[in-house]
Amino acid sequence: MSRRAVWRPVVTLASAVVWSACDFIRPPDLFEAHPDVVSISILLIAGESRARLVAVHPHRPRNGEAPEITATLEGPGWSAPFLEELELHSCTSSTSWPGPLRCLGARLPEPVRANRRYAIVGTGPLGAFKGAMTMPAAPEVLDPGDSLRLQPQVPYRDVEIPMRFRTGSDIGTVLVDVREAFETLDDGEEVEINRHHLGYFPRPVEDAEADTVYIHYRTHPLRFKLHLLGIGWHYTNFLANTGTFPTPKPWPSFGIEGEGVYGYFDGLTPSDAVRVWIR
């Protein structure tokens, strides 16, 4: 299965949340009409010390009651319950949902690490569920190096940044993203700007080993960090599992299984940063 074939952009990341775990989700497949069925989405982010979980009742009215679930994340020698009730904007900028939802957070005793195995256990209205996954290794940027200085030729035009990279077999989806974008004003003051001023990010790469990133340049000097994001196969295959509904049993598993529960449990690992200056 190719990475380009399975990627579908779903929702735009909230500008206040960088690499938010719950922003990489789509509305659930309507394969069972029971009102207590729960769709659960979890995407751990390497380097973060908080986990986020979105639980949705896809077969209830949007003004109905949100799912009542308990869940605990298990890491190497520790466990962390999802006890925090988070505002929706902490998880996603999407406002289009098939039913009432709840966003939960768990404080972790250590940052999530690449190549580590994590598990989840919990209960929903129809019974217990569980899941497990291994965080993918970080994508490796081969070119450019850790820093790049470019001189734009024409204002209000895109600046091209060719990239070459390498990813392991544990990565199913690769995105390119921009973080910490700053612009230098005419008086010399440097101000942070919304990364979406530079283009649509994060976005899928065009090939499994190379891509050209287009950065929209206006008139003022820019600096930012460029990353690749590697996401595992549970998430990738979940997005790829489309077709005629309802999905017949046996229900597919994408890192989560249980009574009346479906969804995915996966991880995202960013590459080292490429520091870019355009001036």
Judge whether residue 11 has pLDDT over 50. no
Instruction: Please give the model's pTM, rounded to 2 decimal places.
Output: 0.86
Close Cβ partners of 93 (under 8 Å, ≥ 6 residues apart): 11, 12, 13, 14, 15, 23
Distances (CA, A) of 145 to 96, 139, 140, 225: 40, 14, 10, 12
Close Cβ partners of 186 (under 8 Å, ≥ 6 residues apart): 220
* Cα–Cα distance for residue pair 264/99, rounded to 1 Å: 18
Judge whether residue 25 has pLDDT over 80. no
pLDDT digits (tens, 9 = 90+) for 203-220: 999 888 999 999 999 999
Q: pLDDT band for position 6 (50/70/90)?
A: very low
Any idea which of 56-70, 85-99, 175-189 has the lowest mean pLDDT? 85-99
pLDDT digits (tens, 9 = 90+) for 76-111: 999 999 999 998 878 776 767 778 889 999 999 999
* Cα–Cα distance for residue pair 149/165, rounded to 1 Å: 19
